[in-house]
Every structure is written in C-alpha cells, then in structure tokens.
Structure 1
Amino acid sequence: MKFKKIIYCCAIVSSLNLGAQTAEKKTSHVNPFIGTGAAHGSPLSGNNYPGATVPFGMVQLSPDTRNIPDWSVASGYNYNDTTIAGFSHTHLSGTGVAELFDVMLMPFSGSVVKEEAGQNAYQSKFSHDKEFAKPGYYSVELLDYQIKAELTATTHAGFHKYSFPKNKEAHIVIDLDHSMKKSDWNTRVIASQLSFPNDYTIEGYRIITGWAPMRKVYFHAEFSQPILHNHVADGGNVYENAKIVNGNAIRAILDFDTSKEQEILVKVGISATSIENARLNVQTEIPVWNFEAIVNTADAVWEKELSKIKIEGTEEQKQIFYTALYHTFIQPNTLSDVNGDYPSADFTVRNSSKSYYSTFSLWDTYRGAHPLYTLLQPERSADFVNSMLAYYKVFGYLPIWQLWGQENYCMIGNHAIPVIVDAVLKKIPGIDAETAFEALKNSSLREHPGSPFGIWEKYGYIPENLKSQSVSLTLEMAYDDWCVAELAKKLVKIDEYNQFAERSQFYKNLYDKKISFFRAKDDKGNWIGPFDPLKYGANGGYPFTEGNGWQYFWYVPQDVKGLINLVGGNNAFTKKLDTFFTLEDKPEEVNDNASGFIGQYAHGNEPSHHIAYLYNYAGEPWKTQKYTADILKKMYNTTSSGYSGNDDCGELSAWYIFSSIGFYPVNPANGVYVIGSPRLKEASIELKNGKIFKVTAKNVSDQNSYIQSAKLNGKSYTKTFVKHTDIEAGGTLEFVMGPKPNKNWGSKLEDRPIN
C-alpha cells in the first residue's frame, strides 16, 4: 500500500523551526479567540472556534460549549458561554449552520452520576483566565473537576492530554450521539457502534444525517492508560464492561486509575471511510506518545503557511491579519485518508494519489478566499478543483455547498464554476481544461437546484412565481455563465462561447429603468409588486437571497461598465453609490445575516463585499479609498467579536487580507485586482515560483488613507487595478498615502479597471 509523506515527526519540527528562531514568529500574532463570540448588542461575531487544527486538516479538535449546538453557536463554541460540554473532533469555521461535532470526549473526576436522558451530566464550568489557544493547540481548566485539558491535532488525528487531580476517581466520557439539534435538518443518528478491542483501545463509527446527508464517521482511539471499566448507554439500555455495542444514541463512561500517573493521553484517528483507515491515520501521524512534539509540529506547519505573507504594521494589525490568514487556511478540509481513500459522492470508497477535499462553502468563498488560494496555495488550488471535478464525474454536476463529501444544496448559483475558471485561466498546473469545461458546461445545462436551466433559457431570467430568490438567482447565474464563456473562449469553442456570453447578459432583463433597480418578474413578464428595495429576503420565499434590492443592485461583476450604462452613466452611477453608503433607513425586520452596516452596505454578508471598489470603474477612486479604509477600521478588531458577521469558511478573513494589502478581486475570475486603500506599511507575498511581490504604503495611518501617488517597479502608476500576471512576475507596488483625496490619481478613463 502506498502512503503519502507525513511530516509529523520531531526531526522535521527541528528543521522547520531552525529558520524561525531568529525571525518574528507569525503564529505568535494569531489569536484563535477572535470571532468566537458576539459582544453585547452585536448580532454576529464570526462563528469561529478556538480549538486545535492544522492547515486544511480533517480534524478540528475544539470545545463545545453547548450540549446541543444550534445556528447561534454553529462552530460549537461561544465565548460568552460559561460551561464546556466536551471536546469533539470536527467543526465548521464561521458558517451559519451548526454541523459535524463528531466523537466527543469529556474528562471528569469524582463519582459517576446517573445521566438524564438526552443530556450530558458531566459538563463543567470554565474561565477565560484559565484558557489558552494558539495555532494547533488549545488548553482549558475544567473548574468543576480541577482537570487541565490540552488538545492538539494532526491532519487526520486529535491528541488529548488530561491532567487529573490527586485522590479522585478519573473518568472520560465518549459520546457518539452529540450533534446539532436533532429536529434541525432532520438530524438523526442512523446507526453507531462502540467496541473495545483491548484495555487501551476503543473503536467505532456513526452514520448520521443532517445538513450533510448520510455522513459516515469512523474513529480509532488509543489511551496511554488501561481502561479499568466501561459503562455504555444506548438510550435506555445500559451495558457494563461491554465488548461491543450497536445503537443510535451511544454514550460511554470509561474508568481509569490515576493514583500513580495523573496524566491520561488519548490519540484519536478519524476517517470518512473505515475504522481500519482511522487506525492507520493515527498510527501514521502520531506514532509515539509525545504530546509536546505534536504541538511543536502543528506550530511549525502553521508558521510555514502563515509566512507566505510577511507584513509590517501595528501589533493590532498583525493580530487581525494573521488570525484572518489562519482562519482562511482552516478549510477546505482534507477528506481522504493517509492512503488516499476517500468517500465518493455515490457512497463508495475511491482512491486518489492527491488529497481529496471537501467543505466547499462556495457561495461565500469563490469571491475572495479562492482567489487568495490561487496566489498562496496554487498546488492545493489544483487539488480543490480536481476534487470538485471528481465529484462532478460521479454526481453529475459540480458542488454547490459540499460537506463531508456530500451536497447539501445550500445557497444559490453554481459557484464552483468561477473557482475552476479562475484556476484554469491563471494556468495553475495539474488541471485538465477540457475536463473542466465539460463539467462547467454540463453543470450549466442540466437541471439541478443551483441552476434551473430550463426556465433560465426559456425566459431569459428566473420568474419569481416559478422559483423564488429569482433576482439573486438571475444575477448570480449570469455571472457564472460569463465564467463559462471565458473558458469557452480560451478553448476556442465558438458556439458555446456565444451561448454563454448571451446568457451572461440576462441580468439586464430584470432591470426596471423607471426605478433603477433589479426587481422580480413573473413568467408573463409582469413586474411583481409592491417593490421595496429595503426589504430583506432570507433563503427562499422572496426575490432576494440574504439581502435586499439595494445590496444586490451592484452584483454584475462581469459587466460593471454595462451596469453603469444601464443607470445612465458615471455620474448617475456614483450618485447611486453615494446614496447606498449613506442611506441609513432600515425596515423593521433585517435578515440575521445582515450586519456591519455603513448605510445599506452590510459587510457581515458576502453580497456587499465588492461594492466599495466600484467607484474606481466610474472615475472616482478616492471614494473607494474612503470606504475600504472605513470598513477595514470599523469591521474588524482583536476581540471575540472581531468580525461583523459569519466568517463563512474564511471569506470575511480573505476580504481583510486582500483589502489591507491594498486590492481585491471584484470579478473573482478575470485575474484583475481592484485597488482600494492599503492599511499596512508593507506586505510581501511569497509566490510559488520563488518570486516576491511587495506592496508598500508610505505615511499610511488611520488619518492617511488616501492614495497620493503610486509606482509599480519604480515607474509611475495611475491605474486603479493590478493584474494577476503583474503579481506573478514579482516586483514592488509602492503607494504614497495622505489625509486628503488626490482626485487626479486614477480618475482617467484608461486608469479604470478591466471588466
């Protein structure tokens, strides 16, 4: 059997740390508690978790502060909570839906008490004063039991270290029933098993369905001390010293003798394919009982990844920046085992020589996170794309929101398309363009929840009476079609190019020139009223998705010039933008995802993210500089409420990374980054080809947020954009900043961004 190279060993830790001994460590600036809990009066904070993980790993070993996590604590952890229910091995970072929470362990001391049905009776109080987290490591004191719990992780395994008090009985709970609320998404454990092969080992699995359908999670756990006794409960059935238990609500209490050795170590391997692979994963990645070595390795791996961008700025800026980069590199998540096995979309097990990934929150991450991956993670970007293409070959179309290898159909559009097109057009090696185009074309021409092809081509828009969220769908599908057309053009597929280029203009069919908004029509072509551009939609039953008519008006990233012409020219366009950023009126009910307001701009959700950059297209770049600087200063901080909305698998983080350096991909698939207002004194991007692209901002400060002049590689530069090819070539982009706008810089027609 051929295994991949695993770097989890002490020798490699030493080599990775050798160059970091004299340099400032990037991991020292990461604060995993940023975004873990809203401040009083704030609706959202990030929905991040503080536990141990490694870049793009399968395992996210983190505390759950609720017995039954729900959407308000979707990552499992809320900084404002006061108790810990246990430590589970899988979590989502920044999402709006609670899911995963697999294989939960919880140590406790003292007498075993009877558990109430459906409740974990062994949760403990904790204090932030006795809690600590850094990349790859988490610790907390469980105050009710005087137990110090420490956690670290590898790609496929979690490592626990529990320090028990003297002269007290020691126990560890393992819970296979812990999940989000069972009534949500029809969540239920279909089957589970717990077995005891020997006194030091437990193994098992659970098959659970919920937001992600029919997830199979296997585990193998090894203990540094023998299990003296086990008490296993499956609902109302109780078993003492069981060898194997099958059920659908399994929870076990394991007894240990800590009179001589108070520390208990637990190594837990996870797999989506089999118990045997879970065993192989942990034995390969954690071969010896050296907790500190795994902590150091995780730190070294994170240091290597975070060092791909080196910045100069204030300590606050460094903490926000490197925590954002950390959050962006948490996912997509490895789903294949160390031997290459992975769960296919048809519920069979297949094998890949490259890592197979899942957790594709594409409606969010195609905008900024994936373009960032093409810069900093090109090899992984190829693996991300090839994972999507492998999924397509089995499932019939590309993923929309894929989790644990299965589609959950969350959100609209099919935004694997821009991710794939962006990677191909940027010439990332290892992606077959013809295979990619086949997947794009068929995903756009076959009827499925993300792309209602039949009515799309029949009407030239989505009629609201045939499918809700119709305006948002029309605008987003038009963009996806533009992406397909661009790849068709590259591959000289003329007929397909013409078809998809025409479809990319369908957005115009929902523009009402009388009121200058996009609005819904029925299948007869009649406007549907009444229309209120301030009224919010959620995820169905209204023409707009997680936003309103104001926020979605600007979503034509493939044809901003066409949008400007629809409005009536540059002056009308910038005046409408001015109104957008200053109109404070809000309806009584605002969607839960709407937060981080500047006028109607809502930074807490993705539809607004590109809008501040649109002034550049109409010749008023100083206004882009003003608003991007305002967003950077107001919408991010170093507290537990550090984000203005759900981080959504790193998308809010990616916005900060790009924008603080000084640019952002308004059109995520055209290889153009639109310039805003750099926030950092210096940022050096380490490229795969060994070159460095450096951005400097002389005199930058909270007051000096306006660009006075710029140079690219020593030559005067007035364009309000920079190309991906410019960055790949290496060099230096220099800005001089000041307190007042220089309205001459970047305002000429030739300086405006390429569509």
Structure 2
Amino acid sequence: MKKLLSIGFVCLCPIVFAQKKPSPGNLVQYVNPFIGTGAVDKNSLSGSNFPGSTVPFGFVQLSPDTREAPDDPASGYDYNDKTIIGFSHTHLSGTGVADLFDVLMMPTTGAINLAPGSADKPGSGYSSAFSHKEETARPGYYQVMLKDYNINAELTSTSHVGLHRYTFPKSDESHVIIDMDHSLDKKRGYWSCKIVSAQIRVIDDHTVEGYRVLSGWAKLRKIYFHAEFSKPFTSSVLASGSRRYPDLSIINGTNLKAALNFSTKDKEQVLVKVGLSPVSTENARMNIKAELPGWDFDNTSTQSSLQWEHELAKIKIEGTLEQKQIFYTGMYHAFTQPNNLADVNGDYQATDLTIANAPDKTHYSTFSLWDTYRAAHPLYTLIQPEKTAGFINSMMRQYDTYGYLPIWQLWGDENYCMIGNHAIPVIVDAALKDIKGFNQEKAYEAVKGSSITDHPGSPFTTWEKYQYIPEDIESQSVSVTLEMAYDDWCVAQLAKKLDKTEDYDRFMKRSEYYRNLYNTKTGFFQAKKKDGNWQEPFDALAYGGNGGSPYTEGNAWQYFWYVPQNVSGLIDLVGGNTAFNQKLDLFFSTKDKPGEVNGNASGFIGQYAHGNEPSHHVAYLYDYAGQPWKTQMYVAKVLNELYNNSSSGYSGNEDCGQMSSWYIFSAMGFYPVNPANGVYAIGSPILKNAQINLGDGTVFTVDVKNAGKQNAYIQSVKLNGKSYTKTYITQNDITGGGKLEFVMGSKPNKNWGVKPTDAPLAWGY
C-alpha cells in the first residue's frame, strides 16, 4: 500500500555502513539495514524501512525514531533527518501508513526535559542531534552517538524483548526518559490516533512497568511493558501532560512520561531490558524471564545475528558486492514480518478482543496481503514452509472470530486497508503445494466463506447480481472486479483439489467476470454503472488512489494486465499475440502527461510503475505471447536500475517484503506471475549462481554463464542437463532439486522460448 509521496526514482551512491569484520561465509555481512530508510531528493522514494534491531518474524523491532509524530516515512526513521527523538520498540517495515512506535525510551543528561522535541528544531526537548558517521546498523545490532548528551546508545533484541546499552558520561543528572504518548501523528484525522488509557508504575528502584491502549491505523491496540535496569535509579519523576510528580509510584492518564534519574561515572554503562506483550504486564515479565534472564548484551546481539544467518543461508548466491547487499537485505526485509504476536506461553489477543492461546506458541500478524501475496508469500512457500503453515493457521483464527479472512491485519486487528481478499491466494497456493501443518478442509471453509459473505470492500451480493462491480455502488470498481475475479479463481482451484465440483464450477464462472468490464472500443477495462452503461468520460492515463476512482493506486493502463489467472484469455480479448505484444510495447513506452500521475506510483518505465504492486508481473507477460526477449530486457532494466544499495534503494515503499521478494525471485531468473498456480515465468537472471536450500539436503541451483549488466538476454537454457526452451518452470521443478543453467548474451536470441508447443497457454496444476 502506498502513501501519497513524490514521484520518480534516482540511482544513488551506496551507503557505507559499519559493522564488525565478518568471518568467511558470513551472510549477515551483506545486510545493510539502512537500505530503504530515506529518499535523497524530493523526486525519489526511500522504501520506508527502519534500521534498528529485530529477529526474524519477531514481535519487537527496537529502532530509533527521528520524528516526534511519525507519519512519513511510516517506519519513523528518515535517513535525511539530523535528530533522534528516542528509541521505540515496535515499527512497521516498508509500509505506506504509519503506526506502532510503542514504549519510547531516550537517555539524556542535564536538567530533566520531558518534551519530545522536533526533528526540524535541533536541540529542542529531549531529542538529540546525531551523525551517520557515528551510527552503525547490522542484523541484531544498532548503535548511535547522541551528540547532545555524549551518550553512546546501543540496541539489540530477542523476539519479545528489547535490550538497550547506554554509555553515559560522568554526570549527576543522567536520565532515561520513558514516553508513553509517542505515537503516529495524532493530528491526522483520517487515522484518528488517540491514547485511550495508559499507566506507568514504578515497582522498585530497578523496575518499571505499564501499558497503553490506543487507536490508530489499528483500531484498538493494547501494549504492555516490563522494564528492568542494570543500575538502580536514585529517583524518578512521573508526568501526566504538563504536571510532574516526583517519586510517585504510579500514574494513569493519556499523556504519560517518566524520567528515571541516575548518577553516572564517565563511560558507565546502564542497560535496560524491556519485555513487551499484547496481553499483560505479567506476560511481559514472563517473556523477559524466558528469553533474556541475564544481562549479556554482546551475546544477545550475537544470538540475534546467528538467527539471521540461519535464515539468510536458505539461499546462497554469487554476484557482485552490490547485488549481494541488495539481495540479502531483501531477504532481511522479507523476514522482518509477519510478526509473532503470541507470548512465550502462546497467549495472544484475538480479533474479538478475548485472550486466546496458540498451542504452537505462534500467532502471526502484520499481513500486508495486497502487496505480499504476489511474491513474498510464494517465496515463503519455498524457503519458509513451516512459517507458511503458521501464517495460515493465524489467518484462519481471524476467520473463526471475525467471520472472514484478513485483508490487511495489524496487531491482530483488521484495518481494511486496500482491496481484494488476498489471504485466499496465499492459503490456496500453500494447499496446492501441499504445505504441511494446516487443515485443508478447514482452509477451504475459510476461503469459500470469505468469498460469499459480504464484508467491507467485498460486496459479493452485488458481485453475483451484476457479474461486475458497478462504480456507482462501489468505488474502485474496476480494480475490485479484477482482483475479486482472481481470488475466485483461487477458490475454484482448491475446490477442484478437494473434489467440490459444484463449487469449482461456480467460482470458475465468477473468475471470468473480468470480461464484463472490457470495453472493445477503448481497449481497456473500464467502469460501468449499475444500469450497464460505461462511465464517461474515460482517460486511460487518469490515476486513482484509494477511492473516488475506478482504479486503486493506478490507472487503466496498469490494471489492464491484471488477469493472472487467465493470461491466454486476456491475449484473446486483445486479439492475439501480435496485438497483445504491441499493447505491451505501448505500455512500456507511453509517457505520462504533467499532472496525470500521483504519488501512488514511482519507478517508471513508460506506464510501468515498479514502485507499486499492480505493475509487478507485467514485464513477464511477453513470455506468454512469444516475445520472451522483451521480458528479459525489461526485467533486467528494473533489476539494474530501480534497486540500489543506498538509503533510497527501492523505487517505492518496500511493503513488508514484496518489493524485496520481486528482486529475490527476479535476480535468480524467474517470478510467480500467478502467485497461486506454482508456475514461475523466466526472466533475466543477474546473479552468477544461486542455491536454494529446500531442507532435507535438497538444493535447487541456478547457474548463469556470462552474467552481467550488458548480458540481459538468454541465449540458451538447460534444466537438469537437458536443453530447455519453455519460458517457465514449476514449483515441482524447484522443490524436486536440480539445476537450471542459463547462458546469457548482449543480443536477443529470438529463437529461444517461442515455439508454439512451448507457449505457456495453460500454465498451472
């Protein structure tokens, strides 16, 4: 999902980032957490990532915030800012909308100042100036020198616990500020952020705990914390709004802060471990006891790094240093979420606000499904099958309590962001791939139930009555029609697998409703009204955002290609391969007119906008129509020009792993155009070698001869030693292990992959 941001993309110089000297074979050395943390000029986008510490799929993301009221970028950290407000324990990675930023802490010296300060007013409040020259980030570790206080701040984390290490100067006025009012911008009425209730309680001279209940992008969130200090504080000040209460033991309110006061020697280290829970302070204490009973900061950081090393080793690559940095940082971002909300005992807050318990001690949330179903979840099925089962079981728990599967779930709460019902393709894809660990019959009940029950954004009664969504009934009607048709195709495939013939026929019929919005006169999918007439006037270049237009974060050009369930049918609508390829050529060459593009798109090649998801599969469509060398050309262009290893390393918001997953797949040479049919279109590999470790010793290897920016075109391919001329491979090709070999060159081989018998007219199971 995209925020309204500036348009365009520029390639930039790489960030030089510090870390300890890596050992041989150490993959974490290539992860640069600063990639995607800040645009360099007004015409570029950053990615909206954070640089702080987290573990794979962990609950805590302990990271600096550079804004008093984070909004843009949504991660709370902008590489261009010069001031740090503090370190909060929860963040979103790569989203277009901000939220979380829970339990902010900030070490200071001097007179107590409980105002947060402002990013554009250095020296105000308790904030501090900082320099990138004195800042470090790597998996499991973040460090920065707070210049205003001469305090070195270091952060690491476990799944549910954040660990801080502050090195103070000599001072009789050293403090750690706790800000329970810090949140996304409360002045943005659209999200209605509000602290409903909060508490800070001083337990003893080493311990503080509390909670807050607030609304925001997630409608209602509860966050509990338990904090333990390695050094006793000598006094404390609690505050509610502008009123201060020295040495009070407990305070309740809506704008709460605390200052814990110390006397420190020169270079004295004070450590703080903060356990979080969405359930209770008791569970927050329990999480600390289970995950971080001691105070060994360096070992905790090392263990976090080792967790990342284990995950990154699931794909080993050979390529240039920049390619390795982009690739492994992409894996890092893809595995930052979904997040396990369950406490160590399995407790979590369900969507009906009751406390439930997950027997497997995992309950995942942060499902940015409109983005991640396209490539991130297919990637998980390859190298995170156990996690995939956990994701699906968590989604089905929402179905049990909420009545339908997640659309965009945050902190266990449905926020209805974006359109479609894209938990459906995620679940169906995993079922068709026989991922173990979830009940397929129950899964079918959930996907079918979510496809026939009217709920926000999914008017199924209207859908079946009109066989399209009328724009005068539901805004974003063209995009909703196309995406619902795809989801219905997915339901049909699982019905077929489970021998539910009547349901298969019903949902296959619905999957073809996209045809009812194709206007043969304009050559586009166009909005209709409920009386059956086309909505006029029509402009294929006109952009829509998230309402008030037939198109969602795109235009008619970008949504024309969204029939991944039946590309051959789309080709027939246009008039065959030649006409289809000509339309693709226009798509990649038609320039925007001034004022016809808004900030929901970026990274342009003609009308192709790589910075937003509706375009992500389009470069691969030449594979379906007999001109695969054009797929190779455009995929190579995106890989080489629209990703880099700078703070502005993505051509749009990273979107919880989707932008990274596109790169991971495409750099290896293939991509899931239809995310739920187990087929991968072949593009243009840029890595010399990639080894996908599938478990049980099974490895799928991609080997590329003549890899390089000048050699975008496939000359020949072998699969398991035999000549291969198909423009796709399947899930079974990969999971069975084997070797895919490419020979690349600087000029197209127009004889490869174009034989009619090899044209993928009916890819899939």
TM-score by length of 1: 0.96
> Of 321, 327, 332, which aligns to 1:326?
332
Structure 1 residue 675 corresponds to structure 2 residue 676: no
Q: Deviations over 1:517-561 (max 9, x none)?
A: 000000000000111111100000100000000000000000000
> Of 180, 192, 200, which aligns to 1:176?
180
Deviates more, 1:109-118 or 1:502-511: 109-118
630 and 336 in structure 1: CA distance in 2 versus 1, 3 angstrom threshold: same
Q: Following the alignment from structure 1 to structure 2, what is the Cα–Cα distance between the partners of residues 51 and 692?
A: 32
Q: Following the alignment from structure 2 to structure 1, what is the Cα–Cα distance between the partners of residues 555 and 389?
A: 35
- The corresponding residue for 2:254 is 248
Partner SS state of residue 169, structure 1: strand
Indicate conservation of the 8 Å contact 2:198/2:256, yes or no: yes
- The corresponding residue for 1:111 is 111
> Of 249, 262, 275, which aligns to 2:268?
262
Indicate conservation of the 8 Å contact 1:67/1:85, yes or no: yes
Deviates more, 1:227-236 or 1:114-123: 114-123
Following superposition, the deviation at residue 503 of structure 1 comes to 0.3
Alignment of structure 1 residues 254-653 onto 2, 5 Å:
254-259=260-265, 262-354=268-360, 355-653=362-660
Q: Following the alignment from structure 1 to structure 2, what is the Cα–Cα distance between the partners of residues 467 and 43?
A: 33
Following superposition, the deviation at residue 589 of structure 1 comes to 4.2
- The corresponding residue for 1:34 is 35
Following superposition, the deviation at residue 259 of structure 1 comes to 2.9
- The corresponding residue for 1:143 is 147
Q: Following the alignment from structure 2 to structure 1, what is the Cα–Cα distance between the partners of residues 46 and 578?
A: 36
Structure 1 residue identity aligned to 2:30: H
Partner SS state of residue 735, structure 1: strand
Structure 1 residue 206 corresponds to structure 2 residue 212: yes
Partner SS state of residue 673, structure 1: strand
Partner SS state of residue 301, structure 1: helix
Q: Deviations over 1:652-694 (max 9, x none)?
A: 0000000000000000000001100001000000002320000
Structure 2 residue identity aligned to 1:503: R
Indicate conservation of the 8 Å contact 1:102/1:217, yes or no: yes
Partner SS state of residue 73, structure 1: coil
Following superposition, the deviation at residue 118 of structure 1 comes to 10
> Of 744, 758, 764, which aligns to 1:751?
758
- The corresponding residue for 2:11 is none
Partner SS state of residue 105, structure 1: strand
Deviates more, 1:688-697 or 1:494-503: 688-697
TM-score by length of 2: 0.95
168 and 596 in structure 1: CA distance in 2 versus 1, 3 angstrom threshold: farther
Q: Following the alignment from structure 1 to structure 2, what is the Cα–Cα distance between the partners of residues 132 and 743?
A: 48
Quick one: percent identity of the two aligned structures?
62
Q: Following the alignment from structure 1 to structure 2, what is the Cα–Cα distance between the partners of residues 551 and 58?
A: 35
Structure 2 residue identity aligned to 1:735: F
Structure 2 residue identity aligned to 1:725: N
Partner SS state of residue 649, structure 2: coil
Q: Deviations over 1:329-368 (max 9, x none)?
A: 1000010000000110110111112211000000000000
Structure 1 residue identity aligned to 2:520: K
Partner SS state of residue 186, structure 1: coil
113 and 219 in structure 1: CA distance in 2 versus 1, 3 angstrom threshold: closer
- The corresponding residue for 2:196 is 190
Q: Following the alignment from structure 2 to structure 1, what is the Cα–Cα distance between the partners of residues 96 and 359?
A: 33
Partner SS state of residue 132, structure 1: strand
Indicate conservation of the 8 Å contact 2:116/2:126, yes or no: no
Following superposition, the deviation at residue 238 of structure 1 comes to 2.0
- The corresponding residue for 2:164 is 160
- The corresponding residue for 1:85 is 85
Indicate conservation of the 8 Å contact 1:535/1:587, yes or no: no
Structure 1 residue 61 corresponds to structure 2 residue 62: yes
Indicate conservation of the 8 Å contact 2:287/2:344, yes or no: yes
Indicate conservation of the 8 Å contact 1:378/1:688, yes or no: no
Partner SS state of residue 481, structure 1: helix
Q: Deviations over 1:417-466 (max 9, x none)?
A: 00000011000011111101110111110110131111000000000000
Following superposition, the deviation at residue 260 of structure 1 comes to 7.5
Q: Following the alignment from structure 1 to structure 2, what is the Cα–Cα distance between the partners of residues 253 and 164?
A: 15
- The runs of at least 4 consecutive aligned structure 1 residues that moved more than 3 Å come to 20-23, 113-120
Q: Following the alignment from structure 2 to structure 1, what is the Cα–Cα distance between the partners of residues 390 and 38?
A: 33
Indicate conservation of the 8 Å contact 2:213/2:223, yes or no: yes
- Consecutive unaligned residues of structure 2, counting only runs of 5 or more, are 1-20
396 and 353 in structure 1: CA distance in 2 versus 1, 3 angstrom threshold: same
Partner SS state of residue 326, structure 2: helix
410 and 616 in structure 1: CA distance in 2 versus 1, 3 angstrom threshold: same
- The corresponding residue for 1:44 is 45
Alignment of structure 1 residues 661-740 onto 2, 5 Å:
661-740=668-747
Q: Following the alignment from structure 1 to structure 2, what is the Cα–Cα distance between the partners of residues 464 and 262?
A: 64
Indicate conservation of the 8 Å contact 2:211/2:222, yes or no: yes
Following superposition, the deviation at residue 748 of structure 1 comes to 1.3
Indicate conservation of the 8 Å contact 1:32/1:133, yes or no: yes
Q: Following the alignment from structure 2 to structure 1, what is the Cα–Cα distance between the partners of residues 433 and 723?
A: 26
Structure 1 residue identity aligned to 2:79: Y
Calculate the aligned-residue CA RMSD, in Å.
1.4
677 and 230 in structure 1: CA distance in 2 versus 1, 3 angstrom threshold: same
Indicate conservation of the 8 Å contact 1:400/1:450, yes or no: no
Deviates more, 1:461-470 or 1:113-122: 113-122
Q: Deviations over 1:695-726 (max 9, x none)?
A: 01101111111000010000011111000011
733 and 561 in structure 1: CA distance in 2 versus 1, 3 angstrom threshold: same
Structure 2 residue identity aligned to 1:63: P
Structure 2 residue identity aligned to 1:307: A
Following superposition, the deviation at residue 169 of structure 1 comes to 1.9
- The corresponding residue for 1:12 is none
Structure 2 residue identity aligned to 1:381: T
Q: Following the alignment from structure 1 to structure 2, what is the Cα–Cα distance between the partners of residues 690 and 440?
A: 34
Q: Deviations over 1:99-153 (max 9, x none)?
A: 0000000001112246489997100000000000000100000011100000001
113 and 362 in structure 1: CA distance in 2 versus 1, 3 angstrom threshold: closer
Q: Following the alignment from structure 1 to structure 2, what is the Cα–Cα distance between the partners of residues 273 and 253?
A: 25
Following superposition, the deviation at residue 402 of structure 1 comes to 0.2
Structure 1 residue identity aligned to 2:231: Q
Structure 2 residue identity aligned to 1:61: L
Structure 1 residue identity aligned to 2:170: K
- The corresponding residue for 1:124 is 128
118 and 637 in structure 1: CA distance in 2 versus 1, 3 angstrom threshold: closer
Q: Following the alignment from structure 1 to structure 2, what is the Cα–Cα distance between the partners of residues 126 and 168?
A: 23
Following superposition, the deviation at residue 302 of structure 1 comes to 0.4
Indicate conservation of the 8 Å contact 1:534/1:587, yes or no: no
Partner SS state of residue 171, structure 2: coil
Partner SS state of residue 716, structure 2: strand
Partner SS state of residue 108, structure 1: strand
Q: Following the alignment from structure 1 to structure 2, what is the Cα–Cα distance between the partners of residues 689 and 508?
A: 45
